[in-house]
Structure 1
């Protein structure tokens, strides 16, 4: 509701009409003159309750100021959102106020409206950044991340149903439009206020400018937070650099993907040391270094790894472990999987799309190229068409609908890990008179949100998975768990233990002389678990019964057992493909591929 009107009758500025800058006169001000014809109803109400009218005027002005300050001072990282962050002097606000006071009336209102709309967009970007930092530990990429919004909507639908997805999307749209409109109106209202009280506004702007410069010069801080800030300018500057890098990235990636040390290697010279072996590349969702290094988790997870090492050793298996640096953290499993298999750094969706529409040879495709392995994928997290599966060179893909599972979902996870591994045994590994298998296996029980979690049961009791209905009822409620970060960390740790135990028990039960298992985490979990640690390391282990297999990787200097030492070698994940193919190719060949 407009609280100020412009008189339609010529008035002398000195008689209380519009000020020389064209600002409207206040309703209820005795100098405003007679109510404008056509507005008597509104004026009658305001004149009958002048205190209420003034209260509304003051209240909306205060709210407009608070909204603009909130937008200017809101950080774009969740760990920086605290009380001290909103007690700062924003350089951008002071500069825009000075500009608005200096502009002629004709351009002032346009500039105020555009500034308000832009501030609304900036606020939306900050809120999106906060969400991305919470999940991916990085800001939103204006060039490369739009596809992830669709993935986020799918995740909400899969976790909370179609109704939850509709509410989430509708809420996001309303928030976006609401911020644009409210921020524009707030900027216009504050501009009118400054013009009506021009002398005071000029003095205030000068004082704030001097205070900002003084605080910068002296380094004044409140609880470690600088009082003077230009964070919005820094955010925008970083975004400009980010957009430039994103636009260049396609050309950079094209050059990188053209280099392949094994592209011209004859099939009969590939992976010769693994002929006749079943080679299983297994990803454990969100199995990051935090599970081993964090003091609150190191004990239980370390015990699970020690127990697995012992049980496998008793069954005749040996193991070695190291670290890989993943291209992602928090989420983006497919980017990590494709990085390991392709030997290229796939850190964003643009690279993933370029990769999966190219003829790049992945590790799985090289196995298939030899003609000596049947290549299969166990991908319980896939619930719809996955055309990229053909790119990875898999002869057959078993998704969540083709594993024979008739039990319940465990939150996001369609199939418990123990059942996925038993299905692999039933459908492929346990068949008689079969050819050697190369399998890519995704264990999804440790996928966020980690509640409820399946638990181990006797392998002979798995059946069609119906037994898990009762187990799910005994599990935790994710809504309750996510109210407490410590409970989230506890459930994450339990999920990792479950995945590790499922895998080591499967090897103990079904592994043989020809089993070669490589298992690793795809990325670190979300910052709620890592505590804001930005590290991207994940554990990787290789397990085999045949001593000749581990002799081939003796030069890697990995740690004995399933738990890598803190100072174990750390490679980039994209280096693994070429190192692996070099180690298991003919001796003396491919040395150039062992890039660090």
Structure 2
């Protein structure tokens, strides 16, 4: 360090004016960085000019502490304080990102595991090298931010120690002004001038951690309760015996697809056209709304909420319930003894132990569906192919019992570029036909930064998924086929809007009129498109309502 320090002193002596400018510029930048960290909001909507012309009480208190400390303790406290500010800045950025994609802030207890899912998503979407580059860049950025924040606070602490009298007077004045503004409720552009946002943020995060820990314990007890846990097999789903059941989730199929002015015209026209196909083929449908336990992502939380009848809104709840033996809707069909159960999971690319929890006899993941075509960004295969493979490998074969099939359709998964196209059914083959379609499609970079383009492509992906499903049903369904299909969650805020609900459409389709007669009192809308004022239920309430409607006898 001595040679470097010596060179700096010689340069400063040779260029005093430039040294003064550099010194004061560095000091001003350090002060601006610290103030930004203290006043930074944890949502993108909070970035308003008024937020950054406030007086942070934490700065007043921190200055007072640093002024009175001796040199060594002052340096230690300043460095630690800077690191804390850096950590809080990172957490605020995580809150902004999580709110943008998942509609909620970052959970300090539960959400660390989601980074591995995000890494896998980026790998599948952008490739391994690009993802590794992004990951390294983010780690370096965090380390640099922590280091620079610590150095900024240390620099300001040194400045105050060299000008103790001025620093003391300034701190007293700032403290007095803060107290006066707080007492009088002084505001600038509608924002209180006296700020304690950092302290409140720390308090809020502490409360959220405590609430999460309490929630884990309470949910573990609640999950053990089940209205149908002890129902004898012959008293489960008696009014659906002999029916081929399909429970199908359409990725990111949310209320916004039907009601947003950008997406709605195309999606609504598709729902109308597909409903006409159903009617012509002898089917009928009823539709309503369910409020999902998740938003923007974490689809498995929506799947497990719908099938278990429990509100599974975070990863810990998911781990808790899937480790137990709570009766899922799919498992109820298996337990009854009247159905063989199968899962079609094109999005599953590795071991999936949860299949036991869902009561699936056999699972066809991305490897077992025998697809030879290209990936469409994250989606391993087009929905039309997944359904065609389901018919070839499972549904079209002879069975001793009716089938209960859980099918996850993934073509409407973000980033919605490229999107598959429907091809003649007899040309689907092994999926090679999709090579030219994938190459001609848009790239994620074409739409990812443009909200309107993202909405347009998202709407097209929903149209494709719905059409693929209804085409399959019309071609291969029969008088005993019953289809339940729904969205797992709304798309991200960039598409659904910052204040969108968590509602998703749900439909039940059947040829046998007795099937829909059983839910006549639900108030659902006829057809595939639920009316705006159709009933809205929590997604967790569906299992019990459905099982009760179709003859299951509660036995807690």
With the shorter chain as reference, the TM-score category is over 0.9
Identify the residue that residue 127 of structure 1 maps to in structure 2.
93
1:551 aligns with 2:517: yes
- Given candidates 312, 336, 342, the residue that maps to 2:278 is 312
1:476 aligns with 2:442: yes
In the TM superposition, 1:536-547 aligns within 5 A as 536-547=502-513
Q: After the TM superposition, which of the residue ranges 561-570 and 290-299 deviates more from structure 2?
A: 290-299
Q: 1:418 to 1:101 in 2, by over 3 A?
A: same
Q: 1:384 to 1:257 in 2, by over 3 A?
A: same
Distance 1:485 1:229 in 2: 33
- Given candidates 244, 260, 263, the residue that maps to 1:278 is 244
Distance 1:531 1:226 in 2: 27
In the TM superposition, 1:460-471 aligns within 5 A as 460-471=426-437
- Given candidates 335, 346, 356, the residue that maps to 1:369 is 335
SS of corresponding position for 1:45: helix
- The count of residues paired between Structure 1 and Structure 2 equals 556
1:250 aligns with 2:216: yes
- The offset of 1:434, in angstroms, is 4.8
SS of corresponding position for 2:263: helix
In the TM superposition, 1:93-132 aligns within 5 A as 93-105=59-71, 107-132=73-98
Identify the residue that residue 295 of structure 2 maps to in structure 1.
329
SS of corresponding position for 2:412: coil
Q: After the TM superposition, which of the residue ranges 354-363 and 99-108 deviates more from structure 2?
A: 99-108
- The offset of 1:104, in angstroms, is 4.5
Tell me, yes or no, if the aligned pair for 2:264 and 2:459 is still in contact at 8 Å: no
Distance 1:77 1:44 in 2: 46
Q: Which of 1 and 2 has higher RCO (CA within 8 Å, sep 6+)?
A: 2
1:515 aligns with 2:496: no
Q: 1:557 to 1:40 in 2, by over 3 A?
A: closer
Identify the residue that residue 377 of structure 2 maps to in structure 1.
411
- The offset of 1:375, in angstroms, is 0.6
SS of corresponding position for 1:296: coil
SS of corresponding position for 1:295: coil
After superposition, give the CA deviation of every residue in 1:98-145 in whole Å (9 maximum; x if it has no partner): 232244445333221221111111111111111111111111101111
After superposition, give the CA deviation of every residue in 1:426-450 in whole Å (9 maximum; x if it has no partner): 1111123552100110010111111
Identify the residue that residue 451 of structure 1 maps to in structure 2.
417
Distance 1:434 1:221 in 2: 73
Identify the residue that residue 42 of structure 2 maps to in structure 1.
76
Q: 1:40 to 1:435 in 2, by over 3 A?
A: closer
Q: After the TM superposition, which of the residue ranges 196-205 and 258-267 deviates more from structure 2?
A: 196-205
Tell me, yes or no, if the aligned pair for 1:559 and 1:565 is still in contact at 8 Å: yes
Q: Which runs of 5+ in 1 are unaligned?
A: 3-36
Distance 1:314 1:39 in 2: 85
Tell which structure's C-alpha radius of gyration is larger: 1
In the TM superposition, 1:207-286 aligns within 5 A as 207-286=173-252
Distance 2:124 2:376 in 1: 11
- The offset of 1:353, in angstroms, is 1.0
- Given candidates 330, 348, 355, the residue that maps to 1:382 is 348
Distance 1:436 1:477 in 2: 41
1:571 aligns with 2:537: yes
- Given candidates 157, 164, 167, the residue that maps to 1:201 is 167
SS of corresponding position for 2:288: strand
Identify the residue that residue 526 of structure 1 maps to in structure 2.
492
TM-score, normalised by the number of residues in structure 1:
0.89
Q: After the TM superposition, which of the residue ranges 449-458 and 431-440 deviates more from structure 2?
A: 431-440
Distance 2:180 2:261 in 1: 44
